[in-house]
Structure 1
Amino acid sequence: MVKVVLWVDFHCEKMKSKSMKAVSKLPGVESVSADMKDKKLTVTGDVDPVSIVDKLKKVCNTEIISVGPAKEPEKKKKEEPKKDDDQAKKEEEKKKLELLEAQRLAELGRLCELCHFQLRSPYPCCCRSMVEEHPNACVIC
């Protein structure tokens, strides 16, 4: 869908009706509207702007002002807030539980905070990032 806005040199109502009739006969045109005050003609549909101008040049002087996508009305979504809310709440609870578990293990010194490597030894881990050699590497001392 394309919306084409044209400047058309309307002198009278007869010229306006002729230009609207000429454009409406083109294939793919869905709607045509004219504004006599601003001398603008708006065409909406699947149509080539050049073919519109060619057709209107036979009737009166014409220039293209703008060509862009036609704004379609927004479709309303079917709302199912209960299912979405339930899933979102479950995911949030799951993330909170994972975070609490990670914090508990970190407090015990069994989880490296930099690489999230779970240690089996009772000693706290000590990690250093080797930026010079490997930017994404982690070394356990």
Structure 2
Amino acid sequence: MQKAVLKLDVNCERTKKKAMRTVCCLSGVESIDVKDGKLTVIGEIDAYMIVKKLKKICYTEIITVGPAKEPEKKPETKPEPKPPVIWPYIPPPCPPPYYHYYGCGDENPNACVIS
């Protein structure tokens, strides 16, 4: 598939129609568009042969020849990766405090010394 853009010097509507009819009859032509004196032809075409045919009708000049743009395919939408789950740091519980009982030297807890 090729796309050729040609500049046509057409003065009247009759010449424009004749140029379009000439290009339509060529083999391999899939679509034609004429805007502002520019003829756009898409298909399996030879731009030189088109210009050769159109020069008999009106002044023709090649502007660009290149590959036809194919319809753009939509890229596959990938699901967005989920952010990793960050668990909050919870420190382990503190051990209970150790109580040290330092009793008095007496064996009798009810003993009391008053001095």
SS of residue matched to 1:47: coil
Structure 2 unaligned spans of 5+: 82-115
For structure 1, the residue ranges without an aligned partner over 5 or more in a row are: 86-141
Q: Distance in 1 between matches of 2:72 and 2:65?
A: 21
Deviation at 1:75, TM superposition (A): 2.5
In structure 2, what is the Cα distance between the partners aligned to 1:74 and 1:5? Answer: 21
Report Cα offsets for 1:61-91 as digits up to 9, x if no partner.
1110111111111123565x46xx7xxxxxx
Structure 1 residue matching 2:3: 3-state secondary structure: strand
Shift of 1:55: 1.0
Q: Please name the residue that 2:33 is paired with.
A: 33
Equivalents in 2 of 1:17, 1:3: separation in Å?
Answer: 20
Aligned to 2:44: 46
- The one-letter amino acid paired with 1:39 is G
Q: What's the offset of the Cα at 1:59? A: 1.0
What residue number does 1:17 align with? 17
Partner of 2:55: 57
Higher helix share: 1
Counterpart in 2 of 1:99? none
How many residues align? The count is 82
The 5-angstrom pairing of residues 1-141 of structure 1 reads: 1-35=1-35, 38-76=36-74, 81=78
What secondary structure does 2:22 align onto?
helix
Query: What TM-score results when the alignment is normalised by the length of structure 2?
Result: 0.63
Q: Partner of 1:7: helix, strand, or coil?
A: strand
What's the secondary structure of 1:73's corresponding residue?
A: coil
| TM-score where L is the length of structure 1 | 0.52
Amino acid at match of 1:40: K
Give CA-to-partner distance per residue, 1:21-62, whole Å, 9 cap, x none.
100111110111111xx3111111110000100110111111
Bigger relative contact order (CA 8 A; separation at least 6): 2
